[in-house]
Amino acid sequence: ARYRQLWLAACWLFLITLIPTPAVGSGAKDELRALQVRGKVLAAGKPAPGDWKKLGSAYARLAKAYPRDVAIRDAYGEFLCEMDDRAGALREWLAAEKLDPKNVAVLNHLAGIYLATGDVRQSFGHYLRASEVEPADPIAHFNVANVACVFRHEIGKTEIEALGLALHHFAQAHRLAPQNAEFTRA
């Protein structure tokens, strides 16, 4: 009798781990697309005073209904960032990163928000991770190179190391997209 409760608790925890969280079905994907289209329509037109707030509430409801979906968290973070809610965007993107630490879009969003808030080392680290996850993406290399070059004194490397890293990633970006004039110029 003494260990029966412990055994029941262990069984209960095991069963809870087997119960799947809601996966994103076509309905949730359609709802996400509809919210994104609604946001574009609002941005293009003259929205009523509460339209942005309603859209934000719809994103929040969707994120709450599907807390383990990276695409929804990422889209909600983008919306919050566009609404100048950096703390909310950071929260959503960090949650998405925990779910999928190799998602390049999320890593780039995190790098961008960290750079916008002045945390250059975090930004550099996320851009570097994005370039490692997607080595065939010239933009990922270009982003690393730009941060390493422009903020060479803040990334925690010597100036020679930072410039060497920048040149390496500029060359990678150019090699992957030789027709891009910006990469060639860099």
Provide the b/e sequence for 66-98 (b: ≥16 CB within 10 Å): bebbbbbbbbbbbbbbebeeeebbbebbebbbe
Read off the tokens for 12.
């209960």
Predicted TM-score (pTM) above 0.75: yes
Q: Which residue type sits at 105?
A: A
What are the angstrom distances between the C-alpha of 59 and each of 122, 124, 182?
Answer: 27, 29, 36
pLDDT reported for residue 15: 34
| Rg of the chain (C-alpha set) | 21
Q: How far apart are CA 103 and CA 137, in angstroms?
A: 13
pLDDT reported for residue 6: 41
Q: How far apart are CA 16 and CA 18, in angstroms?
A: 5
Q: How far apart are CA 67 and CA 76, in angstroms?
A: 11
Give the number of other Cβ atoms within 10 Å of residue 117's Cβ. Answer: 13
Residue 78, SS3? helix
Written as tens digits, the pLDDT of the chain (186 aa) is: 444 444 444 433 333 333 344 444 567 889 999 999 999 999 998 888 899 999 999 999 999 999 999 999 999 999 999 999 999 999 999 999 999 999 999 999 999 999 999 999 999 999 999 999 999 999 999 999 999 999 999 999 999 999 999 999 999 999 999 999 998 888
